[in-house]
Amino acid sequence: MALCEAEKTFVLHGVEENFRVDGREREDYRPIELETNIVSHAFGSARLRLANTDVLVAVKIEVDVPYPERPKEGKLEFFVDCSANATPDFEGRGGEDLAIEISNSLSAAYKSPEVFDLTKLCILKGHKCWKIFVDILLLECGGNLYDAVSIAVKAALWDTRIPLVKSVTVDGNNVDMEVSDELHDCQKLDVTAAPIMVTVCKIGEQCIVDPNVAEELCSVGAVVIAVSKDKFSTVLQIGSGSLHPQTLLECLQMGEKVAQRLSEALTETLSEINPNKNQDVGFLK
Amino acid sequence: MPVDHKRINGPEISIPYQLFDKLNTKSLKTQFSEIVQPNGTRADGRTSTEHRKIFLKTGVVSQAKGSAYIELDQTKVIVSVFDPREIPNKTDYSSKGEIYCEFKFAPFSCHKRRLHQQDAEEQQFSAIMKQALESAVFRHEFPNFQVDIYAMVLHNDGAALSAAITAAGVALAHAGIPMYDLITSVTLAVQGNHLLVDPTLEEERLCQVPLFKEEENNHGIVVLSVLATHEQISQFYQSGYLSYACLSSGIEMLTNAAKDIVTLVKKCLVKHVIKSVRIVED
Amino acid sequence: MSEQYKILHPVKYFRDHLAHKIRPDGREFGEYRPIVVNLGSISTADGSAIAKVGRTTVVCGIKAELCQPKAEAANEGFLIPNVELPPLCSSKFRPGPPTEQAQVATQLVADILKNSDCLDLKTLCIFPDKLAWCLYADLICLDLDGALIDACVVALMAALKSVTLPAVQYDPALDNKQVNVQERKALSVTNTPIATTFAMFDDKILIDPTVDEEDLSTSLVTIVVKEEELCFVHKPGGCVFTEEQLLKCVEESTKRATVIEEIIETAFKSL
């Protein structure tokens, strides 16, 4: 997509008047659709659609050996796959850099023990732990990837069920464990502090959230802000521009406010999903 | 893992011996209080806002167009910059030049041996470096070309990324690539109420996890790069768990700290200019 | 003017200099560049050294790890050298897997180590068949201006001499290891091989060539000497050296080896 100067001015004026091209205000998101538990072979999954952005997240769990330097912790890994169907830019190896950037920012955002407690994934200190693989598939790319991915990841982790370990026996250097056979005997992850990322985009003198593709083209720089509870877990600048310190602070404030609202809405939505109710779910709905 | 036939490989499994050392039984909290006094004085006698001694030199790599070497006390980083060349594997025209950054830790630079291939952390640092330098360079002066910047950390004792960005700025200037401003970068480590500018590796390690309870559970690392004359932040990266109040005071501290280094960078470049003028005169 | 001349007619430029019995950088044919050795400046490594031969700079860091010995050599440890020519050191290289030149250099350094027998691998064994040291010697070239092998060998030998290994108590019955990091011991390096590279151009032999001279030369030869004895010769094709010329080279490299050995000794003493 390419915009001419007049179109850019139009977008810019809209942002200044707090009335954007699609009728939203500066702090408004586009409608988000979220489904959980849709991949039957995964331990937890979620699919999120934010306007044209479509993300599928599946969580896989394996038993692994903890890192020798951190024997009491489990492992959490993110892998982003930018499908070539998502946007023509991803053809060949085009999406690789972006995929690495997103997965690195997620690892950074989930790194602090205050955000996600890895010690809960430990089965036997120094011998056995759970390793969680979070696979993120970008099905369609319609702007604002970081936000969409972070919400989908949080929902997928919320949906994840870890099998209950019935017993662990140690015999010399051999460790045997027994997992409960009951399908419903499982434990859920604590995701209350899992971060939500908000991309704050600077256009002209103002900052907006959730830019669409046209708005993304008008801005020179953006800040991705990952907020967990009331604290910042990761902040990184993207794009090639630079910011005045004051602007950065404004972005941070705005990001925190929006993330809080988003997080509340998500928690509410997730709590409405009742696993006992037999809901119809499907890819095509 | 596939076998690397282009290098000599060691035994399949080898373990760092440090893991079998007599365990350091002190809690992280005591370790932290040992290296940082309540009033902010640190193990090496610095105050919380003080930099380590910095050594900066240009022209260390004779084969490169521009190069710089920086030492932050023990941390040692070398950066070289090469002539613009055509962007490889590119079919369409790009009106702005590209910057290619590669950040690498030498295998022996850290406590744990690093592998020869770039790992995720190094890739991320390369991306941050690129982001920081892009807004400092006149990219429209070399459309369809790319400038290669390589940074190698020889010894990591904290703040390696900042050191690499500052040195890359100097190396770009030394290579004669047109820039808007000098770029300087500083790292900040946060633990509770302590904000430590230019942390050592030990300080960085102890700032990864919260050591204090409740209200004081701020912890994390912040890296910030500044274009001083234009008062612009060209790159900002934070990880950990920080409140807004803490982060905003951190940003202020870092911007000031980054400005402190500018004089040093200028001095280093002036020295280079004087030297080259002398050579021409002779 | 001379810059342009050099770029347009590199061979003629070089030949003109040689006709006046001088090399482009002002040296005589048999004159080698100054050598600088710095020991132990990288404390994260168990041994380290930086060697400069003229402008060619190589840094060597050695990291020790624990491993199980090979079944066919149960009482030996490992010494794994790797030469890295990162894109940082010269515009000839691009990011990616090691280039051919790096692979050749790695193999050469490994062969020199093996031929010279400077470190008995048996001394790296802690308990036969169970536990041994593995020394990873990573050589990184920071500036490539010719005579790479010379600089690599100097850096490697100096770094090996500066390696100290911690004491290990091993209990084979329980497979328990206890390392005492404070109590460290140096390696016993029995001899110091030193490499010298020569370049041939129009029947003239140049000692310690720069990268420009290497590129223009018709033949290169690297001679490794230890304790005044010939230990290894590497001559990868190119034009012919007469017996007389080769003997002269060996003689020159023996002289140079004594000087370099002294330099390493001095650096070691000032550590």
Residues of B in contact with C44 (CB under 8 A): 108-111, 155-157
Q: What pLDDT is stored for residue C104 in this prediction?
A: 94
Distance of alpha carbon A189 from alpha carbon C225, whole angstroms: 65
Q: What pLDDT is stored for residue B214 in this prediction?
A: 67
The first and second tokens of residue C9, run together, are 């007619």
Question: Are the beta carbons of A245 and B255 separated by less than 8 Å?
Answer: yes
Can you spell out the DSSP letters for B214-267?
GGG--EEEEEEEEETTTTEEEEEEEEEEE-HHHHHHHHHHHHHHHHHHHHHHHH
* B/C interface, count of CB pairs below 8 Å: 145
Q: What pLDDT is stored for residue A279 in this prediction?
A: 55
CA distances C234 to B51, C57, C117, C193, Å, are: 49, 21, 17, 14
Assess whether pLDDT exceeds 60 at residue A282. Answer: no
Q: What pLDDT is stored for residue A275 in this prediction?
A: 58
Report helix, strand or coil for B104.
strand
State what percent of residues in chain B have pLDDT above 90.
57
Mean pLDDT of the region A183-205: 86
Q: Dump pLDDT digits (tens) for A8-18.
A: 899 889 888 98
Residue C240: exposure state from Cβ atoms within 10 A (0-12, 13-18, ≥19): exposed
Residues of A in contact with B241 (CB under 8 A): 112, 114-115, 228, 231-233
Chain B interface mutation, best of A197, A202, A237, highest count of B Cβ atoms under 10 Å: A237
Touching B (3+ Cβ pairs <8 A), the chains are: A, C
Q: Which pLDDT band holds residue B93 (cuts at 50, 70, 90)? A: confident
ipTM: 0.90
Q: Which pLDDT band holds residue A284 (cuts at 50, 70, 90)? A: very low
Distance of alpha carbon A133 from alpha carbon B126, whole angstroms: 24
φ and ψ of B133, to 5 deg = -85, -25
Q: Dump pLDDT digits (tens) for C236-255.
A: 888 888 999 999 999 999 99
Q: What pLDDT is stored for residue B23 in this prediction?
A: 65
Q: Which pLDDT band holds residue A274 (cuts at 50, 70, 90)? A: low
Beta bridge pairs of residue B145: B86
- Please list, in sequence order, all residues whose beta carbon lies within 8 angstroms of the beta carbon of residue A198, skipping any fewer than 6 positions away: A147, A209, A224, A225, A226, A227, A255, A258, A259, A262
C65 or A91: which leads in pLDDT: C65
Assess whether pLDDT exceeds 80 at residue B75. Answer: yes
State what percent of residues in chain B have pLDDT above 70.
97
Residues of C in contact with B64 (CB under 8 A): 88, 90-91
Instruction: List the single residue in C45, C95, C97 with the smallest CB-CB distance to B102.
Output: C95
The first and second tokens of residue C199, run together, are 């370049």
Q: What pLDDT is stored for residue A285 in this prediction?
A: 42
Angle (CA) C1 C5 C8, round 5°:
140
The first and second tokens of residue A25, run together, are 């205000």
CA distances C248 to C205, C232, C251, C252, C256, Å, are: 10, 16, 5, 6, 12
- Residue whose entry in the numeric block shows the structure tokens 């055509």: B86
Q: Which pLDDT band holds residue A278 (cuts at 50, 70, 90)? A: low
In single-letter form, the type of residue at position B68 comes to A
* Every domain of chain C and the residues it spans: 24-190+259-269
Mean pLDDT of the region B21-45: 81
Q: Which residue of A has its CA nearest to B255?
A: A245
Tell me the CATH number at B84.
Answer: 3.30.230.70
Instruction: List the single residue in C65, C140, C181 with the smallest CB-CB distance to B152.
Output: C140
Compute and round to an integer the Cα radius of gyration of chain B: 20
Q: What pLDDT is stored for residue A152 in this prediction?
A: 94
Touching C (3+ Cβ pairs <8 A), the chains are: B
Assess whether pLDDT exceeds 80 at residue B275. Answer: yes
Question: Are the beta carbons of B110 and C44 separated by less than 8 Å?
Answer: yes
| The CATH number of domain C24-190+259-269, selected from 3.30.230.70, 3.10.20.580, 1.10.1040.10, 1.20.210.10 | 3.30.230.70
Contact between residue A270 and residue A192 where contact means Cβ atoms under 8 Å apart: no
In single-letter form, the type of residue at position C127 comes to F
Q: What pLDDT is stored for residue A176 in this prediction?
A: 81
Mean pLDDT of the region A48-76: 89
Question: Are the beta carbons of B131 and A228 separated by less than 8 Å?
Answer: no
- Please list, in sequence order, all residues whose beta carbon lies within 8 angstroms of the beta carbon of residue B275, skipping any fewer than 6 positions away: none
Distance of alpha carbon B80 from alpha carbon B78, whole angstroms: 7
Angle (CA) B177 B181 B187, round 5°:
110
Kindly report the length of chain B.
282
Q: What pLDDT is stored for residue A219 in this prediction?
A: 83
Kindly report the length of chain C.
271
Task: Tell me which residue range forms the domain holding B78.
Answer: 46-281
Q: How many helices (H) and strands (E) does chain A have?
A: 5, 14
CA terminus-to-terminus distance, chain C: 46
In single-letter form, the type of residue at position C157 comes to M
Q: Dump pLDDT digits (tens) for B112-151.
A: 899 888 888 899 999 999 999 999 999 988 888 999 999 9
CB atoms within 10 A of CB A252: 23
Instruction: List the single residue in B121, B123, B238 with the smallest CB-CB distance to A232.
Output: B238
B236 in a structural domain: yes
3-state helix, strand, coil in chain B (%, to 5): 35, 30, 40
In this structure, the strands spanning B98-105 and B145-155 are parallel
Q: Which pLDDT band holds residue A89 (cuts at 50, 70, 90)? A: confident
CA terminus-to-terminus distance, chain B: 57
Contact between residue A131 and residue A75 where contact means Cβ atoms under 8 Å apart: yes
Among A181, B212, A267, B109, residue whose Cα is nearest residue C42 = B109
Compute and round to an integer the Cα radius of gyration of chain C: 21
CA distance B231 to chain C (A): 31
Question: Are the beta carbons of B240 and A111 separated by less than 8 Å?
Answer: yes
Assess whether pLDDT exceeds 90 at residue A168. Answer: no
* Every domain of chain A and the residues it spans: 5-272
Q: What pLDDT is stored for residue B255 in this prediction?
A: 93
Q: Touching check for B123 and chain A: CB below 8 Å?
A: yes
Q: Which residues of chain C have pLDDT under 50?
A: none
The count of domains in chain B is 1
- Residue whose entry in the numeric block shows the structure tokens 């790096």: C102
Among A282, A274, A35, residue whose Cα is nearest residue A151 = A35
- Please list, in sequence order, all residues whose beta carbon lies within 8 angstroms of the beta carbon of residue B49, skipping any fewer than 6 positions away: B197, B253, B256, B257
Q: Where are the beta strands (DSSP E) in chain B?
A: 14-16, 54-58, 66-72, 75-81, 85-86, 98-105, 145-155, 183-191, 194-197, 219-227, 232-242
Q: Which residue of B has its CA nearest to C100?
A: B6
CA distance C85 to chain B (A): 11
Q: Dump pLDDT digits (tens) for B162-217.
A: 999 999 999 999 999 999 999 999 999 999 888 999 999 999 988 888 887 766 78
Question: Are the beta carbons of B8 and C80 separated by less than 8 Å?
Answer: yes
Q: Dump pLDDT digits (tens) for C108-155.
A: 999 999 998 889 999 999 998 889 999 999 999 999 999 999 999 999
Distance of alpha carbon A62 from alpha carbon B8, whole angstroms: 32
Mean pLDDT of the region A132-140: 93
- State the pTM of this model: 0.92
Distance of alpha carbon C59 from alpha carbon C47, whole angstroms: 11
Instruction: List the single residue in B79, B108, B152 with the smallest CB-CB distance to C44.
Output: B108
Q: Which pLDDT band holds residue A94 (cuts at 50, 70, 90)? A: confident
CA distance C229 to chain B (A): 27
Distance of alpha carbon A231 from alpha carbon C128, whole angstroms: 54
Average pLDDT of chain A?
Answer: 86
Q: Touching check for B251 and chain A: CB below 8 Å?
A: yes
Question: Are the beta carbons of C43 and B22 separated by less than 8 Å?
Answer: no
In the CATH hierarchy, which top-level class contains the domain A5-272?
alpha beta
Q: What pLDDT is stored for residue C78 in this prediction?
A: 92
Q: Which pLDDT band holds residue B24 (cuts at 50, 70, 90)? A: low
CA distance C69 to chain B (A): 8
- Residue whose entry in the numeric block shows the structure tokens 């908000």: A198
Among C173, C154, C151, C138, residue whose Cα is nearest residue C65 = C138
CA distances A247 to A186, A259, C177, Å, are: 46, 18, 55
Q: Which residue of A has its CA nearest to B251?
A: A245
Q: Dump pLDDT digits (tens) for B229-270.
A: 988 999 999 999 999 999 999 999 999 999 989 999 999 999
B127 in a structural domain: yes
